[in-house]
């Protein structure tokens, strides 16, 4: 069974966001081994300089690196400049991972300042959810739902219409 890591920077503060993610993680358990990994967010002043932002991104990248180093893994970097996929295309990508012997799939969600360029460069695929802007917490819920939907598409269920 494939392992799915959703590696994120920061914690979900509101219970309703945590509950929504927990529901999809529970559902995903029938299809994969899901894990939510919450990395520490770098503390920055209210109006950080560009240098401070870059230093924070590099610090967060060090915490992300072990997931990119997993042998036999495939990594999606969630970033605004990434490619948008339909739910069916994401399902196909995850199917292809399984077919190609990938044992672990990582989805990396950075902080509100994004993901360090070093992580994006190492990722196997840069994925964008939309050109629209969403609350950072909602992005995690949306990603968990889309991963669940992708597995439902592969299983040919009625969930995806």
DSSP state string for the chain: --EEEEEEES---SHHHHHHHHHHHHHHTTTSEEEEEEEPPPP--SS--HHHHHHHHHHHHHHHHHHHT-TTEEEEEEEEEEEE--HHHHHHHHHHHHHTT--EEEEEE-BTTB--HHHHHH-SEEEES-SS---HHHHHHHHHHHHHHHHHHHTT-SS--
Q: Cβ–Cβ contacts within 10 Å for residue 156, how many?
A: 8
Question: Domain extents for the chain?
Answer: 3-154
Order across the sheet with 125-128: list the strands: 33-39, 3-9, 104-109, 73-84, 125-128
Q: b/e per residue, 94-112, with b = 16+ CB within 10 A? A: beebeeeebebbbbbbbbe
pLDDT of residue 161: 66
Q: How many residues does the chain have?
A: 161
**Residue showing tokens 């999809």:** 24
Interval 74-109: pLDDT, tens = 999 999 999 999 999 999 999 999 999 999 999 999
Q: What is the pLDDT along the chain (161 residues), one digit of tens a residue?
A: 999 999 999 999 999 999 999 999 999 999 999 999 999 999 888 899 999 999 999 999 999 999 999 999 999 999 999 999 999 999 999 999 999 999 999 999 999 899 999 999 999 999 999 988 888 889 999 999 999 999 999 999 988 66
pLDDT of residue 133: 84
Q: What is the pTM of this model?
A: 0.95
Contact between 86 and 148 (Cβ < 8 Å): no
Instruction: Please give the class, per CATH, of domain 3-154.
Output: alpha beta
Contact between 64 and 111 (Cβ < 8 Å): no
């Amino acid at each position: 069974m494939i392992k799915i890591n959703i590696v994120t920077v920061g914690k979900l503060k509101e219970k309703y966001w945590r509950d929504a993610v927990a529901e999809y993680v529970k559902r995903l358990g029938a299809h994969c081994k899901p894990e939510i990994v919450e990395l520490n967010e770098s503390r920055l002043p209210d109006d950080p300089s560009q240098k401070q932002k870059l230093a924070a991104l590099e610090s967060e990248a060090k915490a992300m690196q072990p997931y990119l180093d997993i042998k036999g893994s495939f990594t999606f970097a969630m970033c605004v400049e990434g490619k948008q996929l339909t739910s069916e295309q994401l399902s196909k990508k995850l199917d292809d991972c399984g077919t190609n012997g990938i044992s672990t799939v990582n989805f990396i969600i950075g902080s509100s300042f994004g993901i360090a360029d070093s992580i994006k460069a190492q990722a196997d695929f840069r994925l964008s959810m939309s050109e629209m802007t969403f609350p950072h917490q909602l992005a995690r819920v949306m990603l968990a739902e889309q991963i669940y939907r992708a597995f439902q598409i592969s299983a040919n269920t009625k969930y995806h219409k």
